[in-house]
Structure 1
Amino acid sequence: MAETVSSWRNAFSIYTRSRVLGMIFLGFSAGLPFSLTSSTLSAWLADEDVSLSVIGYFSLVGVAYSVKVLWAPVVDRLAFPLLCRLLGKRRGWMLGAQIGVALGLFAMSELDLHHQLSQMAWLAVWVAFCSATQDVAIDAYRIEIVAPEIQGAMAAMYVFGYRLSLLLAGAGVFYVAEYQNWSVAYQGMALAMSVGMVATLLAPEPHRVADERVGQIEQSVEVAFGLSESRSLPARLLRWFSDAVVSPFVEFFQRNANNAVRILLLIALYKMSDIAMGVMANPFYLALGFSKKDIADVTKVFGFFMTIAGTSIGGVLVARFGIMRPLLFGAVIVAATNLLFAALALAKPDIVLLAGVISADNLSGGIASAAFIAYLSGLTNSAYTATQYALFSSLMTLPAKLIGSISGDLVAEFGYAAFFSYSAVIGLPAIALVILLMRSSSSSQN
């Protein structure tokens, strides 16, 4: 269980720690390639008169971020050649991935889209793969470098850096492309990856504590699959797969016993209310009659600052009160702010009211995200940090996106006010699960 600090002053002081501040630069490095292989790349393609159908296929590049769990065990189990020997396992993978992103972006800048479109597609896939690998390595580093009660603050600084890089890779690239060209803009972004590289070189390598129980679990799983005796190459490969992929699941269920299923349900449901609502947010603003400029001004300006404020507050709350109470608070206020959207749907359109609702939504979402990231971080075992966290993050978004896919049908059938009320209601199971886990934790301590 995470320790808590004794005063609000000490809670706020976590943002002065070097390891927490360092997450700004790692978050910047993580966010930079995301837009450059998605929305910003689509704009470049469109500006070069590439067909819309081809641009649509380029969106498949983003699949790398959704399936990074498939190679997360490699980051956990294997060393990046040479770099891990020099820097340690976590920093070695981080720097290797960052170099891969920078080289990929620079190579993209050298291509002629009219004659080398297929090469551009392969390079975009490469950059997305390296970027997703960097995400896996940074998540593992973040979890292992500080105690659980600091994870909320680490998440807040990571989000701050990530949002800054999205601005640079979006608006910044557009400005450079307008006054220079797209190639120069992408070369600048390749150079900007040096921010993350320097942060990686200056960061300390996490100290990983060996867990004797992990070795016993891996041996028992190998025996269960009949892999412990054979020395053939196929058997060795299967043993590696068993240790790297199957054992993390087994370890999680053994460690959490009766609460394992509840925890997985909470992971699947916690963001559901927020993500389901978010799918219909922009269509809702347009339906109310707000201009695109109004929507951009309010969502970008208020959205940016209130999200940063929310995650920062969430980090302080985790440091001050531990993880579970802020986790419950976050679940409650996320569901409650959806009711504000329902009220907005029934009110007369007003830009001040819109700004207030969006501010409340981003503030609550930031608090909930910081608490939830801290919670997920505390669920991992240091032997399988990258693998287990990648699994949790995939489970966190997949069910919510599936529910979000029917949002348009619900709005068409029942209207926006009913839809936002529904999105608040689907947040109730997460609240109930947090309460159950809190009670279970209290009972086990008594």
Structure 2
Amino acid sequence: MDQTNKQSWTDSLKLYTQRPVLLMLSFGFSSGLPYLLVFSTFSFWLREAGVNRAEIGLISWVTLFYGLKWLWSPLVDRLPLPWLSQHLGRRRSWMLLAQTGIVIGLVGMSTLNPQNSLIAVSLFALVVSFSAATQDIVIDAFRIESAPEHLQAAMAAAYMTGYRLAMIVSGAGALWLAAIFSSAQSYQAHAWQLTYLCMAGLMAVGILSCLFAKEPNVARRGLTSITLVRQFHRRGMPLRLAGFLAWSYSALCEPFIDFWRRYRWVAVLILALISVYRIADVVMGVMASAFYVDMGFSKEQVASITKVFGVIMTLLGTGIGGILVNRLGTMRILFIGALLTAGTNLLYSYMATQPASLGLLTLVISADNLGAGIATAAFITYLSSLTNVAFSATQYALLSSIMLLFPKFIAGFSGYLVNWMGYNHFFTFTAILGIPALILIVLLARLNLSSSVTNDKR
């Protein structure tokens, strides 16, 4: 569907040994750790605490911050933080602030029991989600600015490797810890509270990486345009107000104007693809943990198979995806990933009709996570190729937010859908949701957008 400069397999593998690529492992870990703690691990905790599926689905809306981060990404992109930015640089200062917020939110969750403090624990989950989304804005910009384009696919794969390793820790590790801290098979709040406290401590990996990383050396546009300041000032505005309006236009408007100017009407197709690419995976994922509990699998079984073996398969898929993107092109692998993501949901539909079986669970998890890894590596590379480095944080945040906003909103009703149609039909429904993405990829590939680079991109 598209063409790329082909490399030998040895050259492709060597990309993973370069310093910018290796650094993304640790940042990927820092980014991936909080996600499951407000998503599937949190859902498992809530379900074991007796919270009903409809409420779990609605509470999953705390992760909508991942889909709304474009709203404050211009501030993260352009606004320096007092003192911190002078000593750490703009990217690392925002990263450290966001990581501190994650720690505060996780510690807050670790002091509460959903059985009698459901609203309070959900509010702390909101703090974690907002801070984690802010951290993602910074890390995405850091990745785009830290290396040339030919390293971006490898950096995306390394980032996802770190991300998925963190998901082993916050998924399987959290379930194992909750099981270890429990003195009985029944629900015990203190076991989950200690687990979340341990997860807060593991954010030290991201904090230390932030402190020892090197700020990207990128020539930045001025925060305000002197011409704009003069234009506003000539209209009778005070100089300070003129400067604020010029800064606001530069930070809030220019990134979006730049995107529409480069892609024109085709931007509608691009945004449509981004908004539906992960919908089959996200809508299904909210109910996955509740499904495992309702099927009768224990925390240890879910931890071993879905959170460890499954993540290993995702890592394998991510590595394969990064190499395939370099050799075959982004759009081809993007299509294959979307097909695998939607198709493997049908395996969950079949499993819902069968007695609980660890063998079947392993098979389904293997296929699902392998396809998800391939899809993710291709999708991150595709999003990175769409951004202008002059507005990297804002534009990537916009694109990655659109990726999650609509799916997360629909996922909030997933509990009601399961209660209405049952797990079998629900998983089939989520597979059907993946069809529009396949159609849009074909349309965009025919327009050859993936290989076109505009003169004003950098």
TM-score by length of 2: 0.76
Larger deviation, residues 326-335 vs 125-134: 125-134
Alpha-carbon distance in structure 1 between the residues aligned to 2:452 and 2:42: 52
User: What is residue 254 of structure 2 aligned with on the other side?
Assistant: 247
Measure the CA separation in 2 of the matches of 1:427 and 1:284.
20
1:304 counterpart residue number: 311
**CA–CA separation in structure 2 for the residues paired with 1:222 and 1:367:** 50
Q: Retained in 2: the 8 A contact 1:324–1:434? A: yes
Deviations 1:238-268 (A, max 9, x none): 3333222222211100011232111011111
1:146 is aligned to 2:147: yes
Q: Classify 1:125/1:440 alpha carbon distance in 2 versus 1 (closer, same or farther; 3 Å).
A: closer
3-state SS of the aligned residue for 2:448?
A: helix
What residue in structure 1 maps to residue 297 of structure 2? 292
Aligned to 1:206: 216
Pairing of 1:212-227 with structure 2 (within 5 A):
none
Distance 1:38 1:410 in 2: 18
Task: Specify whether residues 176 and 19 from structure 1 end up closer, same or farther in structure 2 by C-alpha distance, changes over 3 A only.
Answer: farther
Instruction: State the Cα distance separating 1:350 from its structure 2 match.
Output: 4.8
User: Which amino acid in 2 is paired with 1:133?
Assistant: T
Q: Distance in 2 between matches of 1:120 and 1:414?
A: 29
Specify the code of the residue in structure 2 equivalent to 1:259.
Answer: V
Partner Cα distance (2:121, 2:336) in 1: 45
2:89·2:215 contact (CA, 8 Å) conserved in 1?
yes
Q: Deviations over 1:14-68 (max 9, x none)?
A: 22222222222112223344566778889999999xxxxx999998865654543
8 Å Cα contact 1:221-1:247 kept in structure 2? no
- Are residues 351 and 122 of structure 1, via their aligned partners in 2, closer, same or farther at CA, if it must alter by over 3 Å? closer
Alpha-carbon deviations, 1:110-154, whole Å to 9, x = none? 99x9xx999999877655544332221111101221234433433
CA distance in 1, matches of 2:119, 2:406: 33
Q: Find the aligned partners of 1:149 and 1:100 in 2 and give their Cα distance.
A: 33
Residue of structure 2 equivalent to 1:22: 23
Range moving further from structure 2, 55-64 or 257-266: 55-64
Structure 1 distance, partners of 2:16, 2:22, is 7
Q: How does 1:217-366 map to 2 (within 5 A)?
A: 229-232=235-238, 233-282=240-289, 290-293=295-298, 295=302, 297-344=304-351, 350-366=357-373
Q: Say whether 1:158 aligns with 2:159.
A: yes
Contact 2:168-2:311 at 8 Å conserved across structures: no
Which residue is 2:186 aligned to?
A: none
Evaluate the alpha carbon distance shift between residue 108 and residue 273 of structure 1 in structure 2; reply closer, same or farther with a 3 A threshold. closer
Q: Distance in 1 between matches of 2:427 and 2:73?
A: 36
Distance 1:173 1:385, change over 3 A: farther
Change (3 A) 1:356 1:35: closer
Aligned equivalent of 1:192: 202
Alpha-carbon distance in structure 1 between the residues aligned to 2:227 and 2:236: 13
Question: d(CA) in 1 for partners of 2:410 and 2:121?
Answer: 34
Which amino acid in the other structure matches residue 15 of structure 1? Y
With over 3 angstroms needed to count, the CA separation of the structure-2 counterparts of 1:129 and 1:431, relative to structure 1, is: closer
Q: Secondary structure at the match of 2:309?
A: helix
Residues 365 and 107 of structure 1: CA distance in aligned 2, closer, same or farther (over 3 Å): closer
Structure 1 residues 413 and 85: alpha-carbon distance in aligned structure 2, compared to 1, 3 A threshold: closer
Identity of aligned residues (%): 44
Equivalent residue for 2:402?
395
Give the number of the structure with larger relative contact order, counting CA–CA contacts within 8 Å between residues 6 or more apart.
2
Q: What letter matches 1:76 in structure 2?
A: D
Give the distance between the partners of 2:21 and 2:233, measured in 1 at CA: 43
Moved more, 96-105 or 271-280: 96-105
Distance 1:219 1:360 in 2: 56
Pairing of 1:63-78 with structure 2 (within 5 A): 64-78=65-79
Quick check: 1:141–1:206 contact (8 Å CA) kept in 2? Answer: yes
Q: Could you say what the CA RMSD is over the residues aligned between the two structures, in angstroms?
A: 4.8
Alignment correspondent of 1:51: none
Instruction: Give the 3 Å change call, closer, same or farther, for CA 130–279 of structure 1 in structure 2.
Output: closer
The within-5 A match list for 1:59-138 is: 64-99=65-100, 101-102=102-103, 128-138=129-139
* CA shift for structure 1 position 209: 4.5
2:437 to 416, 423, 430: 430
Partner deviation per Cα, 1:311-336 (whole Å, 9 max, x = no partner): 12111222223322211221222233
2:387 maps to amino acid: T
Distance 1:425 1:200 in 2: 41
- Partner SS state of residue 387, structure 2: coil
SS at the partner of 1:81? coil
Give the aligned length. Answer: 438
Cα distance in 2 for residues equivalent to 1:286 and 1:176: 18
Point out where structure 1 has 5 or more consecutive residues left out of the alignment.
Answer: 49-53
Question: CA 1:414–1:68 in structure 2 vs 1: closer, same or farther (change >3 Å)?
Answer: closer
Aligned counterparts of 2:228 and 2:447: Cα–Cα separation in 1: 28
Whole-Å separation in 2 of the counterparts to 1:143 and 1:77? 16
Residue 187 of structure 2 corresponds to none
**SS of residue matched to 2:266:** helix
Residue 284 of structure 1 and its aligned partner are, at CA, apart by 5.5
Partner of 1:292, secondary structure, is coil
The change in CA–CA distance for 1:439 and 1:219 in structure 2 (over 3 A counts) is: farther
Cα-to-partner distance string for 1:213-235 (whole Å, 9 max, x where unaligned): x999x978997xx7874543444
Report the AA paired with residue 88 of structure 1.
G
Flag the 1:227–1:365 CA change in 2: closer, same or farther, 3 A: farther
Q: 1-side partners of 2:109 and 2:293: how far apart? A: 36
Cα separation, 2, equivalents of 1:122 and 1:291: 29
Residue 424 of structure 1 aligns with an amino acid whose one-letter code is A
- Looking at structure 1, the residues matched to 424 and 194 of structure 2 have their Cα atoms a distance apart, in angstroms, of 47
CA distance in 2, matches of 1:98, 1:418: 39
Query: Measured at CA, do residues 350 and 149 of structure 1 come closer, stay the same or move farther in structure 2, by a change above 3 Å?
Result: farther
